[in-house]
Structure 1
Amino acid sequence: MKRMHLDLATILTLHPLSLLVGAMCFLYVRFRSRRSRGLGKMAAAFLVLGMGSLLAATGAQGVVDYETWTFWSFLSGPASYALFWVGLINLTEERPAGRAWFVLVLPLGLTVWARISGFYLHNAERASVFLAVMGSFALASAWLVVRDRPGEFLQTRWGLGGALVCKAVIAFTTLAAIAYPGRLPVSPPTTFLVLILCQFAIAMFVLILVQERAERRLIALTETDSLTGIRNRHWMMDRLPRQAPKGSAYVIIDIDHFKQVNDRHGHLAGDLVLTSVAQAMGRLLGPDAILARMGGEEFGLFLPGAGKDEAQQIAEELRRSIGSQLILHEGTAIPVTMSAGVAVAPVAMSIAQLVARADEALYAAKRGGRDRVVLARFEAAAADDVTASGDAGPVTKPA
């Protein structure tokens, strides 16, 4: 059976084409997704590197004079890698590059050094510097990619980081082969072929990352209440278990006399009250709380494994925090209080039963004068009894 022979001329032709395809993919997604920063810079980086690779291929065939193609093909490497790094910061962190633009000092410095020393005229020295820059930027880019932004966990980051690490391994392996000739079985055709695959992988994972982020945002929009910024009923119902384990608590929170706020101060004031209350609860409970706006002025809170004491304490802290808020609308202070019904599962039970008991406790809080927390009681002899806390102090346990 014949062994496949990798023709260097063919590989050198495919390399700039792979970069051109990657640049076109970046530009396509850039114009379709206006929010994805950095793709334009990454496309420019691929084009610059592709032009340098094409120049080197034509120069090696004698089409371009030696000094011209060696200088410009060398310079295309540091310039493109620095530009790619800046674009990657824009893309992964979704912010302006800021001081990262100073990385362009590196290609400028290498340009001056190349002109003064003329090292680019020597194949081994030119290739060594080129590969060292490529490997360093690839590793730095991989580190940048795998660092998740707070609250953003994109699985594609690991694939993109892996492709960049592979590119760094190629660079440093080839650099070692140049430093120690004959010790490593590295051939130019194989090196360029693997590099082409890495370029395709990088472009592919960048596109998948943009798509995955867009899908995550779309899902977040369907699960987030557009007014208050906290989660909505749909998200809450998806997170609630069918069976509430023993000790799990469900709290229904309702803003007292909310209709009067709308009638007296207008719906904009009502929106301000809803937003202020929701944000206050979110700050007190933290990002991991299963809290959602269930509709109107009602909020739901699920506390898995909290138990009676902790559930009561949390509900009471929320009541005090909301009652102490100063909400101003057009210079007018709007007093806000809340009522809450708390149900804690004494045994494993359906979530529907637990929510129903919390709802009964909420109505008891309203009948008791509002601005209070009511704890539902679960007893075999009196399954429908509830007990209320005083409206000024902590919740009192049922006798």
Structure 2
Amino acid sequence: MVWIQKRLIATVVFVTLLVNVVVASTVMVVYPARLWAFELSVSLTLSTGLAILLTAVLTRQAHHTARLAEELRHMVNRDRLTDVATRDGFFGAMEAAPRRSGVVLMIDIDHFKSVNDTHGHLVGDAVIRKVAQVLRENCRPQDIVCRFGGEEFVLFLDGAEPDSGAFMAERLRRKVAQAATCHGDDLLHVTVSVGGAVKGAARDLEAAIHDADTALYRAKQTGRNRTIMSWSDPPNDGPNDGSASGPNDRPPPHLWMASA
């Protein structure tokens, strides 16, 4: 925005000088020499005043255009319901640095259809917002939280190794289970299933998302409310009550976030 304004002002100044030269030349041709001083002062004052007015109008228009462009970028890159990244925003950020490595997480709210059917879509929206808030607040600024569609999210944990990524995935699952969405006088709790995969510097993002989505499917099929990473074996226990399964509760020594 600043460089546009500077370029605009420079253009107006150039045009003003050019117009003043033309005005001065015209006055000297049209009027006798004895009237030059008066006519030049009047003409140049008017042309300069018009240039200043034009600068103010164009600057205001540039500010308005820049604001509209920023709002459009926000609409494209940020989800209106949750204010996390949209799919376009997520893929755009990843394409800007294709050799980023880390862990991709696919997260899906368990039994979300029953939330909508029982409590209504407005409550369902509130639940999605709450889950997005928990995910966003428990990630670092360089991580990407994206609403992938409906009640499903994709996260990219920038620079995470498999062990720290698995710990973080389980930590996020527990945080969501502990959070509550206000519904009148009641508190509504939901759980999520999490699947994860490694995205190496040379690995295609879509392949990592596919593997994370496959791990998520396994988490759903083996009881929901659990975390499964693509490099680990599926658990053979019953449905997760949120208290035992998943990675070790202790964070790895090099974990980049404080544990809960």
Tell me if both proteins adopt one fold, taking TM over 0.5 as the criterion.
yes
Deviation, 1:242, is 9.4
Larger gyration radius, structure 1 or structure 2: 1
Count of residue pairs the alignment pairs up: 208
Deviation, 1:232, is 1.6
Deviation, 1:245, is 4.2
Task: Give 1:16's aligned residue.
Answer: 49
Equivalent of 1:322 in 176, 182, 200: 176
Q: Is the 8 A contact 1:245 1:305 kept in 2?
A: no
Deviation, 1:244, is 5.9
Residue 104 of structure 2 corresponds to residue 256 of structure 1: no
Gaps of 5+ in 1: 23-199, 378-384
Deviation, 1:334, is 1.5
Percent identity of paired positions between Structure 1 and Structure 2? 31
Where do 1:122-137 residues align within 5 Å? none
Equivalent of 1:310 in 164, 189, 202: 164
Q: Is the 8 A contact 1:242 1:351 kept in 2?
A: no
Equivalent of 1:229 in 60, 83, 101: 83
**What's the Cα RMSD here?**
2.9
Q: Is the 8 A contact 2:102 2:157 kept in 1?
A: yes
**CA 1:386–1:209: 2 relative to 1, 3 Å:** farther
Please state whether the residue corresponding to 2:71 is helix, strand or coil.
Answer: helix
Question: 1:76-108 CA distances to partner (integer Å, 9 max, x unpaired)?
Answer: xxxxxxxxxxxxxxxxxxxxxxxxxxxxxxxxx
Please state whether the residue corresponding to 1:231 is helix, strand or coil.
Answer: coil
Question: 1:114-138 CA distances to partner (integer Å, 9 max, x unpaired)?
Answer: xxxxxxxxxxxxxxxxxxxxxxxxx
Q: What is the letter of the counterpart of residue 279 of structure 1?
A: Q
Task: Give 2:243's aligned residue.
Answer: 392
Please state whether the residue corresponding to 1:285 is helix, strand or coil.
Answer: coil
Q: Is the 8 A contact 2:101 2:199 kept in 1?
A: yes
Counterpart-to-counterpart distance in 1, 2:112 and 2:200: 32
Task: Give 1:204's aligned residue.
Answer: 58
Where do 1:16-165 residues align within 5 Å? 16-19=49-52, 21-22=53-54
Q: What is the letter of the counterpart of residue 225 of structure 1?
A: D
Counterpart-to-counterpart distance in 1, 2:88 and 2:125: 20
TM-score relative to the length of structure 2: 0.69
Gaps of 5+ in 2: 1-20, 26-39, 250-260
Where do 1:336-355 residues align within 5 Å? 336-345=190-199, 348-355=202-209
**CA 1:242–1:219: 2 relative to 1, 3 Å:** closer
Deviation, 1:333, is 2.3
**CA 1:337–1:224: 2 relative to 1, 3 Å:** same
Residue 221 of structure 2 corresponds to residue 367 of structure 1: yes
Deviation, 1:358, is 0.3
